[in-house]
């Protein structure tokens, strides 16, 4: 793997709607983000990805774009965006936007024109099909947000359009070179403006298995998961390579793909030195335990499972490329609520999880609020839920026989609102996020979990994230913590997640005890230094270390 300019950096995801509201309308915005750039710099962040801020009806919170070249007024203006780029670059920060080009909004002018003239130029930007009354749909795929992927084209009784996500997110037809040209043009327009790169939304979906056909239904609705066709679709690489060569590569842009279903043998194509993207996320922890049947069939992830999946990815990626490591994002529950067994969430266990994933080989990502140890949200009624995928999953769970109480509990565990509640800046009204009424309610735990409380506390989760980032990029340890090989240590020892990072000059051993009980761990070599510790003591004796509950240490070993 060739070294890249961003390998030593720390990346951060902002969900703009919930980050910082500057004008009291209850919605986070670009001026709010600009006002927090110094905060991010102080945390140790170098790269910022903004979830979508383009003009959008917000049917899927901005992942339904009506105009790719305008900022939604709720988020600010193009002048704000230009100022954000300028202020970020002044501070040595890089900005990535979200590239959502599997689909657009049904309120995009392309789609409106397609409705006006399905046989014209813009009709061919989408997947349209003639279906007469009583005839079957072209295929029985189930949209990611529930229901068939086909809906009636507005204004036409016998025409349907494809949407693998929400019905307000019509899929763009990447088989059409005219559509691809429009997309490349738009990407170059942003990169020419000075944008540093993109996170590529749902990008694997741009290639469909054609012609459309039915697969074996996997629920009583007679539909099947989109995954069946994704598995069969061949040739996405052609589109991805073309897009890279026409846009990202000439601009030396940083790109991070959202890819869920890669096969290990495809990793070099995706993130090798000549890969389609700079990096892509490791979702192996995210997808663990999922089921096509719905959330009621999901299985929890234990520390042992977590260890298994992260080490598997690390072994597969090895030196092929640089994976992006996460514990949460705007689609997932809070990492501390997911990966730490229920009831064990504490400042210590949160730091333990943080250390564990942060020093995996790859680019560490922090999702807003993660650095405070923000947790999942409690729900008392389905009416409190905003997330469209949770609303669908709730119904699916009820249909499968769950009680309303159990179905709500599933949403508390897996729903997307968990990560979308506003950032907890302080313990004042609305957690300091807004002077108005927040668009989504604040997690009531903001009185305890908030930046103001953590900022000057050397033992806070926040302080720990600062240390994690600083240590990783320090001149002293980056040879090991950024570039060093990752080798699992005692992988069979239950509830211990341990690995070496072996650099040219340093050998580090990262040990994390994922349980409340103590754990005695043999040390392979004498310890030269304890460089990070989430407890005040490290009990080392006779080539052994006695780790306390959820203790996590970074040790430098003697050569
Ligand atoms: O997510 C892609 C994706 O596959 C999601 O459907 C994911 O499985 C789901 O959110 C889990 O509940 C991306 C975005 O990250 C997501 O926010 C968007 O809703 C989606 O694409 C459509 O653009
Ligand atoms: Ca606002």
pLDDT in tens, 49-82: 999 999 999 999 999 999 999 999 999 999 999 9
Exposed (0-12), middle (13-18) or buried (19+): which is 135, by Cβ within 10 Å?
exposed
Side-chain-facing half-sphere of 199: CA atoms under 13 Å:
25
Query: Quick one: pLDDT at residue 262?
Result: 80
Return the ∠ at Cα 131 (arms to 127 and 135), rounded to 5°. 135
Distance from residue 396's CA to the centre of ligand 1 (Å): 18
Spatial neighbors of 479 by CB under 8 A, at least 6 apart, are 503, 504, 505, 506
Percent of the chain whose pLDDT exceeds 90: 99
What mean pLDDT do residues 96-105 have? 98
**Nearby residues of 384 by Cβ (< 8 Å), 6 or more positions away:** 441
pLDDT confidence tier of residue 220, bands split at 50, 70 and 90: very high
Residue 552 neighbours by CB distance under 10 Å:
27
Phi, psi of 315 (to 5 degrees): -70, -40
How far apart are the C-alpha atoms of 384 and 397, rounded to whole Å? Answer: 17
* Residue 437, number of CB atoms within 10 A of its CB: 10
452-510 confidence digits (pLDDT tens): 999 999 999 999 999 999 999 999 999 999 999 999 999 999 999 999 999 999 999 99
Contact (Cβ atoms closer than 8 angstroms) between residue 461 and residue 526: no
- 165 CB under 6 A from ligand 1? yes
201 in active site:
yes
**pTM score above 0.95:** yes
Task: Quick: pLDDT tens for 386-430.
Answer: 999 999 999 999 999 999 999 999 999 999 999 999 999 999 999
- The answer to whether residue 255 scores a pLDDT higher than 90 is yes
pLDDT (mean) for 34-41: 98
Q: How far is the CA of 167 from the centre of ligand 2 (A)?
A: 27
Q: Which ligand is nearest to the CA of 392?
A: 1
CA distance 364 to 356: 11
**CA-to-CA dists, residue 67 to 64, 105, 112, 449, angstroms:** 9, 8, 12, 37
> Which residue puts its alpha carbon closest to atom 3 of ligand 1?
202
Residue 559 banded pLDDT, cuts 50, 70, 90:
confident
Question: Which fold, 484-557?
Answer: Immunoglobulin-like (2.60.40)
Tell me which CATH homologous superfamily contains domain 11-106+174-461.
Answer: Glycosidases (3.20.20.80)
Predicted confidence at residue 170, as pLDDT, reads: 99
Which ligand is nearest the CA of 437, by number? 2
Indicate the burial class of 107 (C-beta count within 10 angstroms; 0-12, 13-18, 19 or more): middle
**In the block, residue with structure tokens 């005890």:** 513
> What tens digit of pLDDT does each residue of 175-212 get?
999 999 999 999 999 999 999 999 999 999 999 999 99
Residue 263 has pLDDT above 90, yes or no: no
Helix, strand, or coil here: 206?
helix
270 within ligand 1 shell (Cβ under 6 A): no
Q: 412 an active-site residue? A: no
Where are the chain's structural domains? 11-106+174-461, 484-557
Strand partners, 49: 13, 96
The SS3 of residue 257 is strand
Closest ligand relative to 17 C-alpha: 2
Indicate whether residue 226 lines ligand 1 (CB < 6 A): no
Percentage of the chain exceeding pLDDT 70: 100
Query: Would you say residue 540 has pLDDT above 90?
Result: yes
- Which of the following is catalytic: 60, 98, 258, 412? 258
**pLDDT reading at 348 higher than 90:** yes
Q: Using CA positions, which residue lies closest to atom 17 of ligand 1? A: 331
Mean pLDDT, rounded, of the chain: 98
Cα separation, 183 vs 485, whole angstroms: 38
pLDDT(261) > 90: no
Total Cβ atoms within 10 A of residue 345: 18
């Amino acid at each position: 793997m060739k070294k890249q300019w961003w390998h030593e950096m720390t990346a951060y995801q902002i969900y703009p709607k919930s980050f910082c509201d500057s004008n009291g309308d209850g919605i986070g915005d670009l001026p709010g983000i600009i006002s927090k750039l110094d905060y991010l710099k102080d945390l140790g962040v170098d790269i910022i990805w903004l979830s979508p801020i383009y003009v959008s009806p917000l049917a899927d919170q901005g992942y339904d774009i009506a105009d790719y070249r305008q900022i939604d007024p709720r988020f600010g203006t193009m002048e704000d965006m230009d100022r954000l780029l300028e202020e970020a670059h002044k501070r040595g920060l890089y900005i990535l936007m979200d590239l959502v080009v599997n689909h657009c909004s049904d309120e995009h002018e392309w789609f409106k024109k397609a409705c006006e003239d399905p046989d014209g130029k813009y009709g061919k930007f989408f997947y349209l099909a003639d279906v007469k009354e009583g005839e079957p749909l072209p295929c029985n795929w189930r949209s990611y947000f529930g229901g068939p992927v086909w809906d009636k084209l507005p204004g036409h009784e016998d025409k349907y359009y494809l949407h693998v996500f929400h019905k307000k997110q019509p899929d763009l037809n990447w088989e059409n070179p005219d559509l691809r040209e429009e997309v490349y043009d738009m990407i170059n327009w942003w990169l020419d403006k000075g944008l540093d790169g993109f996170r590529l939304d749902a990008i694997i979906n741009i290639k469909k298995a054609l012609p459309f056909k039915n697969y074996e239904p996997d629920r009583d609705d007679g539909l099947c998961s989109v995954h069946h066709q994704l598995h069969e679709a061949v040739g996405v690489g052609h589109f991805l390579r073309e897009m890279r060569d026409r846009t990202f590569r000439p601009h030396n842009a940083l790109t991070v793909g959202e890819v869920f279903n890669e096969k290990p043998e495809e990793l070099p194509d995706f993130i090798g030195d000549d890969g389609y993207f700079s990096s892509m996320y490791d979702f192996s922890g995210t997808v663990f335990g999922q089921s096509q049947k719905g959330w009621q069939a999901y299985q929890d992830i234990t520390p042992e499972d977590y260890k298994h999946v992260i080490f598997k990815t690390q072994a597969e990626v090895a030196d092929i490329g640089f994976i992006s490591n996460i514990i949460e994002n705007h689609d997932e529950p809070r990492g501390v609520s997911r990966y730490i067994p229920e009831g064990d969430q504490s400042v210590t266990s949160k730091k333990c999880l943080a250390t564990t994933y942060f020093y995996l080989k790859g680019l560490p990502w922090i999702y807003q609020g993660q650095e405070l140890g923000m947790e999942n949200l409690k729900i008392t009624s389905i009416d409190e839920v905003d997330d469209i995928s949770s609303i669908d999953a709730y119904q699916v769970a009820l249909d499968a026989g769950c009680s309303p109480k159990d179905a709500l509990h599933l949403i508390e565990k897996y729903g997307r609102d968990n990560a979308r509640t506003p950032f907890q800046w302080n313990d004042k009204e609305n957690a300091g996020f807004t002077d108005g009424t927040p668009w989504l309610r604040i997690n009531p735990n903001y009185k305890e979990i908030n930046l103001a409380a953590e900022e000057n506390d050397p033992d806070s989760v926040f302080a720990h994230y600062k240390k994690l980032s600083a240590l990783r990029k320090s001149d002293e340890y980056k040879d090991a913590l950024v570039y060093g090989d990752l080798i699992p240590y005692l992988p069979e020892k239950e509830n211990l997640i341990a690995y070496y990072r072996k650099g040219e000059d340093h050998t580090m051993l990262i040990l994390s005890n994922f349980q409340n009980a103590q754990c005695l761990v043999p040390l392979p070599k004498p310890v030269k230094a304890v460089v990070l510790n989430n407890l005040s003591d490290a009990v080392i004796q006779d080539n052994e270390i006695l780790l306390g509950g959820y203790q996590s240490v970074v040790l430098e070993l003697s050569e």
